Amino acid sequence: MVHVTLWQKGMVITMTFTIISVGRLKEAYFADAAAEYVKRIGGFSQCKKLTLIDVKESKNDGEITERIPPSSYVFALCIEGKQLTSRDFSAKLEQAFTSEKKGICFIIGGSEGLSEGVKSIADMRLSMSEMTFPHRLAKIMLLEQLYRALSIQNNRSYHK
């Protein structure tokens, strides 16, 4: 099935994007990569605002759940979640765009993963791989997929 993007329909809906991750990007190269993707994603008309929030590893679930913006479609990243192709991920974001939600929020766990409590409040459990990646690299992978998804929606050549 050919997915007709909102962009192709002449509609642009703006959303806020939030990525909450447990643990910090200590390495300069991961911080630099994240900053570059944030800049690029911010250039898309669909992106009203992109916020990266780091939560300390030692904190409890409350710290995470409190930071989720109200009326967000929430993705919990976990290895047992569902995998999507980049195109299907892009289409999934568009579904959220056309819902009553005002934003999209992603949660990435630390070295212990996310608790059942956090996962249970998510609208979707998303897996990027069967392989285990550290949160700092998972964040870059997610930013890349977000950039790719918005490129697909805007019919840019990047995503080929």
User: Can you give the binding site for its own copies, defined by CB under 8 A?
Assistant: 27-30, 32-33, 36, 83-86, 89, 111, 128-134, 137, 140-141, 144-145, 148, 159-160
Return the number of the residue (14 or 83) whose C-beta is nearest its own copies: 83
Phi and psi angles of residue 17, each rounded to the nearest 5 degrees, phi first: -120, 135
Side-chain-side CA neighbours of 34 within 13 Å: the count stands at 22
Return the number of the residue (65 or 141) whose C-beta is nearest its own copies: 141
Return the number of the residue (69 or 113) whose C-beta is nearest its own copies: 113
Rounded Cα gap, residues 76 and 108, in angstroms: 7
**Nearest distance from residue 134's CB to its own copies, in Å?**
7
Rounded Cα gap, residues 110 and 29, in angstroms: 19
**Nearest distance from residue 71's CB to its own copies, in Å?**
26
The CA–CA distances, whole Å, from 114 to 58, 79, 86, 145 equal: 12, 10, 23, 20
**Nearest distance from residue 97's CB to its own copies, in Å?**
19
Return the number of the residue (52 or 141) whose C-beta is nearest its own copies: 141
Return the number of the residue (117 or 134) whose C-beta is nearest its own copies: 134
* Number of C-beta neighbours around residue 43 at 10 A: 10
**Nearest distance from residue 158's CB to its own copies, in Å?**
9
**Nearest distance from residue 28's CB to its own copies, in Å?**
7
Rounded Cα gap, residues 71 and 77, in angstroms: 19
